[in-house]
Amino acid sequence: MKVIIIEDEKPAARRLQRMLSRLEIEVQAMVHSVAEAIEWFSSNPHPDLIFLDIQLSDGLSFEIFEHVKTDSAIIFTTAYDEYALRAFKLNSVDYLLKPIDEEELESAIRKFRNNQHPSENINVNELRSLLNIPGARNYKTRFTAQVGQHLKLVDISEIGCFYSENKTTYIHCHSGRNYPVEVSLEQLEDELDPEKFFRINRKCILNINDIRDIISYTNSRLEVKLNNFVEFPLIVSRERVKDFKNWLNN
């Protein structure tokens, strides 16, 4: 059996690849965006099975199938269980919730081998409609960080801010620990709940629940104090001060 993994969180993709390798399943490729997937499908033989993340860095993965026709079967992977449970149960589509459990993965593989449902049985338009419920958004609820040889899952409730330093993005937790993640601040702006997170400058997106103090700063700017954050001063850039105050008053 040949499979591909379409997942924008590279540590999660590599973890899934290792799990599949232990099941003696060949991973043809790992791609990380809608655009990359469309290009890959256009120039490669299609696999037997696709492990497909729903929310990719450049859009919903359903957009791939607006450009590509495939007979490959699909197992969706998602951290957004509120939507996955509703959408997939209605459509009898197989899916795995992140972080993927090895036993659940083996069960999904067995189910595929016994049934081998092609993607044409999946109502992509209906799934897409259900996942874009008016007034609701499937914002990120957890992140995967590499810690030595281990993957650490960080729940969104643990995060005080995201910051960029030396071309690397870090998660800062309420505990004071920092973890690198393979995602840019630009991507995070689209993935985080705007009621809770605000980008104060080019280096930092902070969580309203972690703000300890706000102080007037030079040139009509503001300095924000977060719990246990000491890496550098958090200054709201002058052009963002008005929007920041509106966000606070929301």
Q: Which residues contact 76 (CB under 8 A, 6 or more apart)?
A: 52, 53, 54, 84, 88, 93, 94, 95, 96
Q: Measuring CA to CA, which residue among 92, 59, 86, 56 is closest to residue 74?
A: 92
Same domain, 112 and 186: no
Q: For residue 108, which phi and psi values (nearest 5 degrees)?
A: -65, -40
Q: Would residue 200 count as lying in a domain?
A: yes
Do 8 and 113 lie in a common domain? yes
Q: Residue 136 domain-assigned?
A: no
Indicate if 60 and 106 belong to the same structural domain: yes
Q: Are residues 28 and 76 in the same domain?
A: yes
Cβ contacts of 71 within 8 Å, gap of 6 or more: 46, 118, 119, 120
Same domain, 82 and 147: no
Distance CA 3, CA 72 (A): 9
Domain count, the chain: 2
**What is the average per-residue pLDDT within 150-176?**
91
- Please, is 246 exposed, middle or buried when counting C-beta atoms within 10 Å of its C-beta (0-12, 13-18, 19+)? exposed
Instruction: Give me the CATH number covering residue 242.
Output: 2.40.50.1020
CATH number for position 79: 3.40.50.2300
Strands 73-78 and 95-97: parallel
Is the pTM higher than 0.85? The answer reads: no
Check whether residue 114 and residue 194 sit in a common domain: no
What are the tens digits of pLDDT across the range 43-54?
A: 999 999 999 998
Q: What pLDDT shows up at residue 49?
A: 92
pLDDT tens-digit profile of 118-160? 454 555 665 665 555 444 456 788 888 888 888 888 989 899 9
How confident is the model over 226-243, as pLDDT tens digits?
988 999 999 999 999 999
Domain extent, residue 98, equals 2-131
Same domain for 123 and 95, yes or no, is yes
- Residues 163 and 64 placed together within one structural domain of the fold: no
